[in-house]
Amino acid sequence: MKVLILGGTSEASALAKALSEHDMPAVFSYAGRVAAPKPQPLPTRVGGFGGVAGLAAFLMEQRITHLVDATHPFAEQMSRHALAAAERCGVAVIALSRPPWAPALGDRWQRVSGIEAAVAALYGPSQRILLAIGRMHLAAFAARPQHHYVLRLVDRPEAPPPLPQHRLTIDRGPFTLEGDLALLQAHGIERIVAKNAGGQGAVSKLTAARHLGLPVVMIERPALPRRREVHSVKAVLAWLAHGAAPGVERGV
Ligand SMILES: NC(=O)c1ccc[n+]([C@@H]2O[C@H](COP(=O)([O-])OP(=O)(O)OC[C@H]3O[C@@H](n4cnc5c(N)ncnc54)[C@H](OP(=O)(O)O)[C@@H]3O)[C@@H](O)[C@H]2O)c1
């Protein structure tokens, strides 16, 4: 048995810790998006595989038997590639993910289907907006240049984002309610744009928005093909222990 973990999330790190404690042969993979990724207690590789063909070649070369897709719920392409490559190679595959957030009493969410819909939702007069969506799709918001954006990013970008009015706040989670209330109030934020990532590390901005009565444009997750998916490290360990069948297990 040899496991490949596709990482970039706290769930992936928790699984790496558990596999290392169980002395299970495993490799950890990062896309290489952040300057200083968290060190892992497993052999680690960094960078894209080169599409489905590249990942399939890696699975074969490394004699991987089990693939755990523990990427972020918005890492759609990697998740699709994982399913395709595992099917091609007869490798058992499972997704380890966080359940999405659901609105609670007092929340003022406008749920949208993707980045373009989030941009469309920001019509109207100038507002002060916390754009908490990472760095990949910031350019799309140049279509709404009337707003003043506060961007929360893990690393300082090499080039300034193409948004005429913006401020950067460089920080990585987990975030706290106190910290996020202070951030929203210090910048006079009137609206938040967020991705429905789920989990604890970034939920405090939503709790803070509820406290302050702020509206949230919530970008819902991309749809993926049906796949075996669990929400805990324990469930992945059980899957590994109980002889996961190779290939994509559909209809679960
Ligand atoms: N999207 C988000 O909001 C978000 C938030 C937090 C963390 N992350 C993490 O950041 C990474 C990149 O996310 P993304 O949204 O840019 O992904 P993506 O759009 O689904 O993937 C784009 C390409 O990046 C490479 N890649 C992605 N994850 C990889 C991994 N773990 N190991 C090796 N290569 C990987 C693959 O390149 P090849 O085709 O060349 O193999 C993939 O085709 C992921 O690991 C994800 O868990 C993403």
pLDDT of residue 168: 96
SS (H, E, C) 192-207: EEEECCCCCCCCHHHH
pLDDT tens per residue across span 65-75: 999 999 999 99
Q: Is the CB of 196 under 6 A from ligand 1?
A: no
Residue nearest to atom 36 of ligand 1 (CA): 48
Alpha-carbon distances of 4 from 25, 93, 147, 165, 230, rounded to whole Å: 9, 10, 43, 42, 16
For residue 9, which atom of ligand 1 is closest to its CA? 47
Expressed in angstroms, the distance from the first to the final Cα of the chain is: 23
The rounded mean pLDDT for the chain is: 94
Q: Give 126's DSSP letter.
A: -
Q: Among 28, 78, 98, which is best to mutate for testing ligand 1, by the most ligand atoms less than 8 A from CB?
A: 78
pLDDT in tens, 173-228: 889 999 999 999 999 999 999 999 999 889 999 999 999 999 999 999 999 999 99
What is the 31 CA–ligand 1 centroid distance (Å)? Answer: 5
For the chain, list residues with pLDDT below 70.
243-252
Is 7's C-beta closer than 6 angstroms to any atom of ligand 1?
Answer: yes
Give the pLDDT score at 252: 40
The pTM of this model reads 0.89
Running DSSP on this structure, what letter comes out for residue 138? G
